[in-house]
Amino acid sequence: MNKDNNKMEEIVSLCKRRGFIFQGSEIYGGLAGTWDYGPYGVLLKENIKRAWIDRFVYGKFKMYQMDAAILMNPRAWEASGHVSGFSDPLVSCKKCKKRFRADHVDGDKCPECGGYLGEEKQFNMMFKTAIGASEDESAITYLRPETAGGMFVNFKNIVDSIHPKLPFGLAQIGKAFRNEIAPRDFIFRSREFEQMEIEFFVEEDEWEKYFEEFRIQMNEWINKDLRIEESEYSELDVPKDELAHYSKKTIDFEFEYPFGRAELYGLAYRTDFDLKSHGGASGQDLMIEDSENKKTVPHVIEPSFGMDRTVLAVLITHFMKDEMGEGGRVFLKLPVNLAPVKIAVFPLLKNKPELVEKAREIFDELRGEFKAVEFDDNGNVGKRYRRQDEIGTPFCVTVDFDTLEKDNRVTVRDRDTGSQERIEIEKLKEFFQTKFS
């Protein structure tokens, strides 16, 4: 996986330079597998979440949101099979002691130093933590390795409080933690990450129909909402012998990252595995009436989305270069709904109070309407364009002397084409409403 390291490096560097994503605990030398989101990274994630909720919660299917605790009773992770089965094969080098995922190395020699690799062991990826003051076994629990568990253990609460009929789904956005043996490729594989997951409960004989429905919805999400071209991703039917312990069928959506084609999302048919396991282990009735009023344990379709991989795919797909400006430029051609800032407002010169005052007035007005609007008076206009291009701001508005002395118009510059047009101040709101609709 070494296809376009340059592009990856440029994206990592843009993320740091412009305040999207920083290495976790950077001033202490970092903490492997952790990343911190800065102001624009947070805004980008918020926009992704909003778009995801619009499509999947307020979309085609009956869906309820959840926000379950990250810490759960450890019995839940025993029942789900994670305590015994959530592991990756690990090998360590006898010479340099480095650890690798066995399925990521060829042969019995260390890829780093050429030393011999030891025996393969299973390494459980759940982070253990101790609850309360005592550190005995009874107080051990885990940071959740997937958000899914919190939805299964609340199935009964939802049925008893909301009384939904099948089919319906639970949707949750939240952090998940995995002690990955080899975190790598920026935010692609980290130890702390965010997931957006759905557990969709159906009658057994309808699982194929809803699997297909979600396959289509996931394609539309990638293609229409994130604007990732069809040529940049594909579906992979996961071979039977590679399926997770709970799954009978899984499709991986794979994206063409600069380091190679790899998983972006998963769509799994989890059967009735989880509710049966939790029902058995907790002694609770995790059943619901089907369409013939018979009690049944529903089957589950699970579309699972990594938030950080979404951010990465969005950055990669919309990262552009062209010849505009001195020495060319880099820009993020983000769709308006995802752009952290929609409009930036500048006074042509920052030391002319009359320009600044007018620009502030316009900024206040636009911010009241469109929220994600920024005032920028750093450096010269060329530098401001460069910065706004790099954070993906679709439009810049400049107040100049003609605005005040001649025409009461401002210059609106389009990020993608660089074209500029003079727009009357009174018509600005309407102009942007039309652009954003």
Residue 334: C-alpha distances to residues 72, 248, 390, 416 (Å): 38, 37, 10, 10
Specify burial of residue 355 (Cβ count, 10 A radius: 0-12, 13-18, 19+).
buried
Residues 303, 186: Cα–Cα separation, whole Å: 24
Task: Rule CB under 6 A: say whether 197 interacts with ligand GAP.
Answer: yes
Strand 63-66 and strand 99-101: the pairing is unpaired
Q: Which residue is nearest to ligand GAP (CB)?
A: 306
Piece of 107-115, 129-137, 186-194, 383-391 that binds ligand GAP (CB under 6 A)? 186-194
Residue number with CB closer to ligand GAP (158 or 244): 244
Task: Rule CB under 6 A: say whether 144 interacts with ligand GAP.
Answer: no
Task: Rule CB under 6 A: say whether 263 interacts with ligand GAP.
Answer: yes
Tokens standing for 383?
């530098």
Task: Rule CB under 6 A: say whether 274 interacts with ligand GAP.
Answer: no
Residues 148-177 that bind ligand GAP (CB under 6 A): 148
Task: Rule CB under 6 A: say whether 347 interacts with ligand GAP.
Answer: no
Q: Where are the alpha helices (DSSP H) in 221-352?
A: 273-282, 307-318
Exposed e or buried b for every residue in 22-49, given b needs 16+ CB within 10 A? Answer: bbbeeeeeeeebbbebeebbebbbebbe
CB 186 within 8 A of CB 297: no
Task: Rule CB under 6 A: say whether 266 interacts with ligand GAP.
Answer: yes
DSSP helix/strand/coil, 66 = strand
Total Cβ atoms within 10 A of residue 326: 7
Residue of 15, 35, 303 lying closest to 146 (CA atoms)? 303
Task: Rule CB under 6 A: say whether 387 interacts with ligand GAP.
Answer: no
Tell me which of 217, 271, 304, 317 binds ligand GAP, using CB under 6 A. 304
DSSP helix/strand/coil, 195 = strand
Task: Rule CB under 6 A: say whether 308 interacts with ligand GAP.
Answer: yes
Task: Rule CB under 6 A: say whether 309 interacts with ligand GAP.
Answer: yes
Task: Rule CB under 6 A: say whether 180 interacts with ligand GAP.
Answer: yes
Residues 287, 299: Cα–Cα separation, whole Å: 11
What is the x/- site pattern for ligand GAP, positions 55-94, by CB under 6 A?
----------------------------------------
Residue number with CB closer to ligand GAP (180 or 374): 180
Piece of 133-141, 264-272, 287-295, 380-388 that binds ligand GAP (CB under 6 A)? 264-272
Tell me which of 156, 178, 342, 387 binds ligand GAP, using CB under 6 A. 178
Residues 416, 258: Cα–Cα separation, whole Å: 23
Place of tokens 């954003």: 436
What is the x/- site pattern for ligand GAP, positions 204-243, by CB under 6 A?
----------------------------------------
Residues 77, 142: Cα–Cα separation, whole Å: 8
Task: Rule CB under 6 A: say whether 342 interacts with ligand GAP.
Answer: no
Piece of 107-115, 191-199, 345-353, 407-415 that binds ligand GAP (CB under 6 A)? 191-199
Residue number with CB closer to ligand GAP (173 or 264): 264
Tokens standing for 222?
């990638």
Piece of 101-109, 159-167, 192-200, 412-420 that binds ligand GAP (CB under 6 A)? 192-200
Task: Rule CB under 6 A: say whether 394 interacts with ligand GAP.
Answer: no
